[in-house]
């Protein structure tokens, strides 16, 4: 299939993989990290519930934002927000920063599920969309398998989550660059309908 031979396909795969590794690496370690900072398990779980509530709101809002300002700007705004959210974890010993992290992280991580199918359609067209996006979702599976335990391995090796969080901020930046280049590259492909 022609889509698999395009740069946009592989860049979208890199974008999805990077976002999912970063998301899962943070998501599954929020409660342990906050309890390490001295929060009770109840407080840490409540903060995580806040982020899950914001994720629902983010998913509803992001599609509308993408329709109004475009995919490139939406991707950039939400991934910058994601990087800022992860950076807030370094100051999460302050309760208000922990709250701000969970609000911003919940909103911005909606980028993981909302934009990839829209970007796939924009970059590679709607013909054979299900097959193409199905293959791109292999990156989601790999990212989940890698990201979920990765923070734990880093924590075991360094006795800190700091290096893991730095890695996830870098992956957020890589995802932004890959996604933006994929969208720009697609504009030169008349068969995508750009």
Give per-residue pLDDT as tens, 149-170.
999 999 999 999 999 999 999 9
Q: What is the pLDDT of residue 143?
A: 95
- Grouping H, G, I as helix, E, B as strand and the rest as coil, residue 51 is helix
Alpha helical stretches, state H, 89-161: 95-108, 111-124, 129-158
**40 exposed, middle or buried (CB, 10 Å; 0-12, 13-18, 19+)?**
exposed
Reported as a single tens digit per residue, the pLDDT across 83-95 is 999 999 999 999 9
Contact by Cβ (8 Å): 154, 28: no
The residues spanned by each domain of the chain are: 2-186
- pLDDT over 70 (residue 194): no
Contact by Cβ (8 Å): 122, 185: no
Contact by Cβ (8 Å): 155, 161: yes
With b meaning 16 or more CB within 10 Å and e meaning fewer, what string describes 44-78?
Answer: beebbebbeebbeebbeebeebbeeeebbebbbbb
**Residues 6+ positions from 39 with CB-CB distance below 8 Å:** 47, 98
Could you tell me the two tokens for 40? 């009770």
Reported as a single tens digit per residue, the pLDDT across 20-48 is 999 999 999 999 999 999 999 999 999 98
Q: What is the pLDDT of residue 192?
A: 41
| CATH architecture, range 2-186 | Up-down Bundle (1.20)
Residue 154 CA, distance from chain mean position = 19
Mean pLDDT over 58-74 rounds to 89
Say whether pTM exceeds 0.75: yes
């Amino acid at each position: 299939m022609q889509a698999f031979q395009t740069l946009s396909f592989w860049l979208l795969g890199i974008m999805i993989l990077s976002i999912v590794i970063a998301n899962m690496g943070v998501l599954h370690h929020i409660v342990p990290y906050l309890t390490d900072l001295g929060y009770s398990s109840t407080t840490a779980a409540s903060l995580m519930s806040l982020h899950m509530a914001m994720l629902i709101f983010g998913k509803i809002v992001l599609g509308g934002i993408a329709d109004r300002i475009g995919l490139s700007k939406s991707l950039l705004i939400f991934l910058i927000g994601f990087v800022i959210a992860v950076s807030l974890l370094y100051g999460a010993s302050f309760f208000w920063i922990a709250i701000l992290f969970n609000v911003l992280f919940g909103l911005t991580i909606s980028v993981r599920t909302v934009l990839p199918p829209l970007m796939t359609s924009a970059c590679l067209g709607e013909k054979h969309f299900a097959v193409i996006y199905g293959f791109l979702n292999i990156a989601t599976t790999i990212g989940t398998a890698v990201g979920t335990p990765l923070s734990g391995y880093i924590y075991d090796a360094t006795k800190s989550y700091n290096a893991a969080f730095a890695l996830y901020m870098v992956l957020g930046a890589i995802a932004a660059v890959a996604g933006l280049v994929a969208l720009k590259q697609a504009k030169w492909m008349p068969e995508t309908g750009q």
